[in-house]
Amino acid sequence: MSGSLQKRLYRKLCVYLIVLHLLTPDVTVSGEGVAWSLQTNPAVFGKDIVLECKLPSSTCCDRYTRRWLGGKNLHLLIMDGTSSEPDKYSELFDKETRSSKLTIHRLDSKDVNIPYQCIYGFSKDVKILNMTEDRFEYYPVEPIYVNITVDNGNVLQVNAALKPVFPQPKCNASIDEGDISQSLRVSKIMKDLFYEVIIHIRYTFTSSICANLLNITCQIGTFMLEIKRNITCRSDSPVNGEHRNRKNMQEYSNVT
């Protein structure tokens, strides 16, 4: 290769590097970028959640446009505080802390397991807002269905339905002060993103006292759900008959 050709190639390389440097934004040169994270914990369906994006210190905060994108096609949600859907998305921007906070109002199932992207100038951070059991919660719709029967007077059967619910609840049961959790069984199915849970209790009374308070407690993430019901034996039950006989004997003893 001749010396003149080498010089021409060298000049072209220098020009290319200069142009590349001029076209490359300062954010990239400095090594800084943007990063967003979920700030709300727990994130409860039906309530607002906040995603916070930190902007780079070297170019914040008026040099470039701020944007939030979301959805499978990453459509525009917010640009410099102006929302495409004001009832669904809003931004709180703090220049001192370089913080752009995207509020998603009334979280629903369409808002999760999809990408969100924070953009400032040429820097961007895109991640999936994954619905995990340690961060997201959905509480069952009330009133909660509870069916209680007493068979043959001394066998209590309870069926309660919790749906939809997330994460999977951990449940216990008691009658008055006595723990009957060993008689409780929980079955679940996954429907779309949430669980449908059936609680079943089968418990045999060993006491002659028929009027009791049933208490079912279920831990749903950080939320404690309580279901309280009064239960009474059937009037024709052997246990109820024993209870009446003891009551009559006590009354007779008091009279005499």
Is residue 174 within a helix (H) or strand (E), and if so which, with residue range? strand 170-175
pLDDT of 240 > 80? The answer is no
- What are the chain's domains? 32-128 (2.60.40.10), 138-237 (2.60.40.10)
Tens digit of each residue's pLDDT (9 = 90 or more) over 88-122: 999 999 998 999 999 999 999 999 999 999 999 88
User: 182 by DSSP, 3-state: which?
Assistant: helix
Tokens coding 32: 């800084």
Relative to beta strand 43-44, strand 136-137 is parallel
Q: Which of 132, 140, 106, 129 is nearest to 37 (CA)?
A: 129
Which comes out higher in pLDDT, residue 78 or 5? Answer: 78
Is residue 38 within a helix (H) or strand (E), and if so which, with residue range? strand 35-38
pLDDT of 14 > 90? The answer is no
pTM across the whole model:
0.75
Tokens coding 187: 């079955």
Tens digit of each residue's pLDDT (9 = 90 or more) over 131-188: 999 999 999 988 899 999 987 768 889 999 999 999 999 999 999 888 999 999 999 9
Q: What's residue 209's pLDDT?
A: 58
**Rounded CA separation 75/54 (Å):** 20
Q: What's residue 235's pLDDT?
A: 56
CA angle 115, 195, 133 (to 5 degrees): 50
pLDDT of 201 > 90? The answer is yes
Backbone angles phi and psi of 118, in degrees to 5 = -105, 130
Residue type, 110: K
Tokens coding 63: 């040099």
Grade residue 4 by pLDDT with cuts at 50, 70 and 90: low
